[in-house]
Structure 1
Amino acid sequence: MAAKTFARRVAGVWREIVGVVVSTGAANDGDIPALDATGRLHTSVMPVGYGADTKVVVASEALSAGNLVNLYDNAGTINVRKADASVEGKECNGFVLAAVVQGGNATVYFSRLITGLSGLTDGARYYLATTPGGLTATPVTGVGTVDQYIGKATSTSELTFEPDDYVVKAS
Structure 2
Amino acid sequence: MATQGFLARLGGKTKQIIATVVSAGAADAGKIGALGADGRWDMSTMPLGIGANTTQAAASEAIDAGKFINFWNNAGVFSMRLADNSNGRQADGFVNSAVASGAVGTAYPLDGTNANLTGLTVGARYWLGTAGGVIAAPLDEADAGNVNKVSQGLGVAKSATELVTDDEGYVIL
Q: Which has the larger radius of gyration?
A: 2
Instruction: Give the aligned partner of residue 32 of structure 2.
Output: 31
Alignment length (residue pairs) = 163
Q: TM-score, normalised by structure 1?
A: 0.75
Q: How far off its partner does 1:67 sit?
A: 1.3
Q: How far off its partner does 1:133 sit?
A: 1.0
Q: 1:163 aligns with which of 159, 163, 167?
A: 167
Measured in 2, the distance between the counterparts of 1:167 and 1:80 equals 20
**Partner secondary structure for residue 44 of structure 2:** helix
My pick for the range that moved more, 158-167 or 93-102, is 158-167
Measured in 2, the distance between the counterparts of 1:68 and 1:76 equals 22
Instruction: Give the aligned partner of residue 117 of structure 2.
Output: 117
> 1:95-144 CA distances to partner (integer Å, 9 max, x unpaired)?
122222212212222253323333333333222112x0112232233522
Q: How far off its partner does 1:27 sit?
A: 4.7
> 1:134-166 CA distances to partner (integer Å, 9 max, x unpaired)?
122322335222221112333333333322111
| Uncovered stretches (5+) of structure 1, i.e. residues with no partner | none
For the aligned residue pairs, the C-alpha RMSD in angstroms reads 2.9
**Aligned residues of 2:8 and 2:17 also touching (Cα < 8 A):** no
Q: Structure 2 counterpart of 1:74, which letter?
A: N
Mapping for residues 79-98 of structure 1, pairs under 5 Å:
79-87=79-87, 89-98=88-97
Q: Percent identity?
A: 39
Instruction: Give the aligned partner of residue 158 of structure 2.
Output: 154
Give structure 1 regions of 4+ aligned residues with deviation exceeding 4 angstroms. Answer: 12-19
Q: TM-score, normalised by structure 2?
A: 0.74
| Uncovered stretches (5+) of structure 2, i.e. residues with no partner | none
Mapping for residues 17-56 of structure 1, pairs under 5 Å:
17=18, 20=21, 22-29=22-29, 30-34=31-35, 37=38, 40-56=40-56
